[in-house]
């Protein structure tokens, strides 16, 4: 079996390139802001995961490690947390953050093909780290083999983009000025790949999980807490389709894109940043 090397080859090479070269450095630079935005969703999933002291937990697509650190605190010294990710810059950040914790380890791996020890984990957790697999059924089958008897997989993934204005609003503003790429297969790897919950349930069933439950979590997110107006615009232009358009644009177009996004986000300004609705699924599977 492959050791799950993360870079130039393997089934998820395209995602590895994206998370190493494009998104990873951005997520590191914006780690606090992004974490502040999605932390309430991660906490809701952790509650659903029934994390207890002494458990062995795998954090899938752990990114900059904020959830891994929280999980390590929850399982305590008798427990252990492994964070796996294929983004070297994000793992470097995670290792700095987790340096003090002896019950926490970060490893570079493509979770879809990484040789995981059989029945090694009581809980497998992920905050938005499971929607990027080239072959999700194979990836979840791999994870299922690593789950101990009586164990549980819990993850959060986004519902459709239309229910997530934090992504849709800047995206629509940008689309009013530039021609966006034609829509791809909505199930192809990406943040909204698991928006169709029944389809996702089918993938989990196909991977061998017999008991699959999901629930809708709809919470307003605070985006860019403490940022200035200009920083809020830049932050809104980093993600998803807006980020892709900004990368392609020349300076004149960037100025127009900034103006369009500034106007679009204005109605969402709250006391501490932007306040925008979100909708995610919390999946539990055993
Ligand atoms: C949206 S980010 C979420 C990061 C982190 N869980 C958080 O909540 O801050 C998705 C993460 O999944 C990782 N990822 C994507 N595909 C992966 C794979 N096949 N194996 C391991 N990690 C993967 C990315 O590198 C990225 O860190």
Q: What is the mean pLDDT of residues 204-233?
A: 96
Q: 3-state class of 64 per DSSP?
A: coil
pLDDT at 147 over 50: yes
Judge whether 236 lies within some domain: no
% pLDDT > 70, the chain: 97
Judge whether 175 lies within some domain: no
* The two three-digit tokens of residue 220, written as one number: 């307003």
Residue 23 DSSP label:
H
CA dihedral of residues 28, 34, 36, 37 (deg, nearest 10): -170
81 vs 147: CA distance, rounded Å: 13
pLDDT in tens, 255-271: 999 999 999 999 999 98
Minimum-distance ligand 1 atom for the alpha carbon of 19: 25
pLDDT, averaged across the chain: 94
HSE on the CB side for 43, CA within 13 Å?
A: 7
The Å distance, Cα 89 to ligand 1 centre, comes to 12
The Å distance, Cα 74 to ligand 1 centre, comes to 21
Residue 267 DSSP label:
G
The Å distance, Cα 100 to ligand 1 centre, comes to 23
CB of 90 within 6 A of ligand 1: the answer is yes
Judge whether 70 lies within some domain: yes
Minimum-distance ligand 1 atom for the alpha carbon of 20: 25
207 vs 133: CA distance, rounded Å: 13
CB of 63 within 6 A of ligand 1: the answer is yes
Q: Residue 138 CB: number of other CB atoms within 10 A?
A: 16
Judge whether 54 lies within some domain: yes
Minimum-distance ligand 1 atom for the alpha carbon of 4: 20
pLDDT in tens, 159-181: 999 999 999 999 999 999 998 87
Judge whether 117 lies within some domain: yes
Q: 3-state class of 69 per DSSP?
A: helix
What pLDDT score was predicted for residue 1? Answer: 33
If pLDDT is split at 50, 70 and 90, which confidence band does 7 have? Answer: low
Judge whether 46 lies within some domain: yes
Q: What is the mean pLDDT of residues 246-259?
A: 92
Using an 8 Å Cβ cutoff, are 72 and 97 in contact?
no
Any idea what the CATH number is for the domain that residue 17 is in? 3.40.50.150
Using an 8 Å Cβ cutoff, are 273 and 266 in contact?
no
The Å distance, Cα 10 to ligand 1 centre, comes to 16
pLDDT at 114 over 80: yes
pLDDT in tens, 187-196: 999 999 999 9
pLDDT in tens, 274-283: 999 999 999 9
Report the nearest-CA residue for atom 10 of ligand 1.
129
What pLDDT score was predicted for residue 244? Answer: 82
- The dihedral built from the CA positions of residue 186, 90, 35 and 78, taken in this order, carries a sign that is positive
If pLDDT is split at 50, 70 and 90, which confidence band does 8 have? Answer: low
Domain that holds residue 85: 13-161+186-219+278-285
Top mutation candidate among 27, 83, 132, 188 for ligand 1, by most atoms within 8 Å of CB: 132
Look at the block and give the residue holding tokens 């849709």. 168
What pLDDT score was predicted for residue 10? Answer: 86
pLDDT at 64 over 70: yes
CB of 91 within 6 A of ligand 1: the answer is no
Number of domains in the chain: 1
CB of 127 within 6 A of ligand 1: the answer is yes
The model's pTM is: 0.94
Judge whether 67 lies within some domain: yes
pLDDT at 2 over 90: no
Using an 8 Å Cβ cutoff, are 212 and 205 in contact?
yes
What pLDDT score was predicted for residue 238? Answer: 86
Report the nearest-CA residue for atom 18 of ligand 1.
110
The Å distance, Cα 148 to ligand 1 centre, comes to 23
Judge whether 119 lies within some domain: yes
If pLDDT is split at 50, 70 and 90, which confidence band does 135 have? Answer: very high
């Amino acid at each position: 079996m492959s050791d799950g090397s993360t870079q130039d080859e393997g089934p998820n090479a395209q995602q590895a390139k994206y998370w190493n070269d494009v998104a990873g450095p951005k997520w590191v630079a914006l780690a606090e802001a992004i974490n502040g935005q999605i932390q309430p969703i991660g906490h809701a999933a952790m509650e659903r995961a029934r994390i207890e002291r002494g458990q062995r937990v795998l954090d899938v697509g752990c990114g900059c490690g904020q959830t891994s650190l929280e999980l390590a605190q929850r399982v305590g010294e008798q427990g252990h947390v492994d964070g796996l990710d294929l983004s070297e810059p994000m793992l470097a950040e995670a290792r700095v953050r987790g340096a003090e914790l002896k019950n926490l380890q970060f490893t570079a791996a493509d979770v879809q093909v990484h040789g995981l020890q059989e029945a090694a984990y009581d809980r497998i957790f992920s905050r938005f780290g499971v929607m990027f697999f080239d072959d999700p059924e194979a990836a979840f089958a791999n994870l299922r083999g690593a789950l101990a008897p009586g164990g549980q997989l819990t993850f959060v993934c986004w519902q459709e983009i239309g229910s997530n204005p934090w992504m849709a609003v800047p995206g629509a503003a940008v689309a009013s000025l530039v021609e966006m790429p034609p829509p791809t297969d909505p199930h192809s790897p990406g943040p909204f790949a698991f928006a169709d919950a029944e389809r996702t349930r089918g993938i989990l069933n196909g991977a061998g999980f017999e008991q699959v439950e999901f629930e809708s979590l709809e919470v307003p997110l605070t985006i860019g807490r403490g940022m200035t107006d200009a920083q809020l615009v830049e932050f809104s232009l980093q993600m998803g389709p807006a980020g892709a358009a900004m990368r392609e644009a020349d300076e004149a177009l960037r100025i127009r894109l900034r103006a369009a996004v500034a106007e679009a986000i204005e109605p969402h300004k709250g006391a501490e940043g932007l306040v925008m609705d979100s909708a995610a699924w919390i999946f539990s599977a055993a």
